[in-house]
Amino acid sequence: MFEQPAKKARTDNGESAAGSSNGKKPAAVLSQAAQKRLMKELQKMAKEGDGAGADCVEGGPIKENDLSRWSMTMKGFDDKDASPNSKLLAEELKKMGMDGITFNIVFPFDYPAEPPFVYLVKPRLMGGRIFQGGGMCMDLLMPAGWSPANQVPAVLRAIRSEIQGECKAYEQYCYGPNGTIAENTELTAREDFKLVQNCHSNWMQVNARKV
């Protein structure tokens, strides 16, 4: 379930210029089809309730007049139906004074024909398919594995599943030099994603030669 999308504007530190996951076109400008689709997704999310329980997610567009960039915070990791690892993660979040895990979503010009770029902002997690810089390795978010039928709620559920399975918050990665919670940037996350794409490409080439 999702809470009403947040309307408060916010600026993320260290963000690079917005772009699609394959760098073709800037996400600051969305096609009419993309804008229409995202408005429908926002409206649907707003109707699904107050976000109680293990599926709780809050957020929406970072700026009111820009649908291309969203900030979403997953909560409910301490829910009675959550996995044991999820509850351990909830304890770590509580120690850091946090009640959720924040992701940013950057939508490409041709969304939903192309996948959004999703990355972890805070806290920094390790394990599963999430890397230290905030990038993720998920077929769902790769051009070859993406389906235009996918919507934000389904993407976030898939990410939550990965978090609940293996991810951990290691203290040495979660805090910056000044003792505050460290945040990943779009730049560090895209560097992760580029490495993942290269690995996927190399793997496919090797397997193609075996056929």
Domains of the chain: 32-210 (3.10.110.10)
Decide if pLDDT at 2 tops 70: no
DSSP readout, 91-159? HHHHHTT-SSEEEEEE--TTTTSSPPEEEEEES--BBTTB-TTS-B--GGGSTTT--TT--HHHHHHHH
Q: pLDDT band at residue 174, thresholds of 50, 70 and 90? A: confident
* 43 Cβ contact list (under 8 Å, min separation 6): none
The per-residue pLDDT for 52 is 62
Section 172-196 average pLDDT = 87
168 - beta bridge partners? 126
The per-residue pLDDT for 103 is 96
Query: How many beta carbons lie within 10 A of that of residue 64, not counting itself?
Result: 12
The per-residue pLDDT for 17 is 41
Q: Which helix (H) or strand (E) holds 208?
A: helix 186-210
Q: b or e along 91-111 (b: 16 or more beta carbons within 10 Å of the residue's beta carbon)?
A: ebbeeeebbbbbbbbbbbbbb
CA angle 132, 6, 151 (to 5 degrees): 65
Decide if pLDDT at 170 tops 80: no
Q: pLDDT band at residue 48, thresholds of 50, 70 and 90? A: confident
pLDDT tens profile 51-90: 666 678 899 999 988 999 999 999 988 888 888 888 888 9
* Amino acid at site 183: E
Angle between helices 32-47 and 152-166 (to 10 degrees): 60
Give Cα separations from 31 to 28, 35, 66, 153 (angstroms). Answer: 10, 6, 12, 21
* Euclidean distance between CA atoms 133 and 139, whole angstroms: 18
Q: What is the pTM of this model?
A: 0.79
Section 32-36 average pLDDT = 96
Decide if pLDDT at 101 tops 90: yes
Give Cα separations from 12 to 9, 63, 88, 106, 205 (angstroms). Answer: 10, 11, 28, 12, 37
Query: Is the bond preceding residue 84 a cis peptide, omega within 30 degrees?
Result: no
Candidate from 50-64, 76-90, 113-127, 128-142 with smallest mean pLDDT: 50-64
Q: pLDDT band at residue 164, thresholds of 50, 70 and 90? A: confident
CA angle 200, 136, 104 (to 5 degrees): 140
The per-residue pLDDT for 26 is 44
The per-residue pLDDT for 10 is 41
Candidate from 13-22, 68-77, 94-103, 137-146 with smallest mean pLDDT: 13-22
The per-residue pLDDT for 211 is 44
The per-residue pLDDT for 79 is 87
**For the chain, percent of residues with pLDDT exceeding 70:** 77
